[in-house]
Copies of this chain bind each other. A is one copy, B any other.
Amino acid sequence: MSRRNTAVTDQVAPPEEECPLPEVLGLIGDKWSAQVLLELGHGPRRFTQLERAVEGISRRMLTLNLRALERNGLVTRTVHPDAPPRVEYAVTPLAEEIREPLEALAAWARRNRAALSAARRAYDRRG
C-alpha cells in the first residue's frame, strides 16, 4: 500500500445527515487517541515523549493514532532537520476545542469512579 496500514486511519464521515456522535467517536473513541490528544494538550511533544507518557501504547499504535489525528487536522507534525531526527507533534486550534468536553468526560470519570465500581459490584452480586 502507498500509505495507511490497518485501521484507525481510514475513518471517513458518511455523507448522510445524521447523529454526529459516531464521527467524533471514530476520531477519539478508540483506546489511545484521546489520551494522546490530552497529553499533547499540555504542550508539544516528541514521539518518544508521547510513547512514555501514554503508557501501554505500542510504537505501532502511537504512529497510527498520530497519523489519523494529523489526517483529521487535529494534530500537526513538524520534522526538525537535526541529527538525530527530531519530530514534534502539537495540537491544532481545532483540537483545542475538543479538549474541553474531553476533559469534562475525564473529570466525570474521576468524580464517579467509586459510584461506578459500586454499581458494578452490586450488579454482579445480584447476578
Contacts and interface: CB of A to CB of B under 8 A. Distances in A.
| Number of identical monomers bound together in the oligomeric complex | 2
Size range of the chain A interface in the assembly: 35 or more
Given A21-B35, A127-B2, A13 B94 contact: no
Nearest to A101: B104
Given A20-B109, A97-B108, A106-B24, A116 B31 contact: no
A110 interface: yes
A105 B113 contact: no
Interface of A: 2-3, 12-13, 18-25, 27, 29-31, 34-35, 38, 55, 70-73, 94, 97-98, 100-102, 104-110, 112-113, 115-120, 122-124, 127
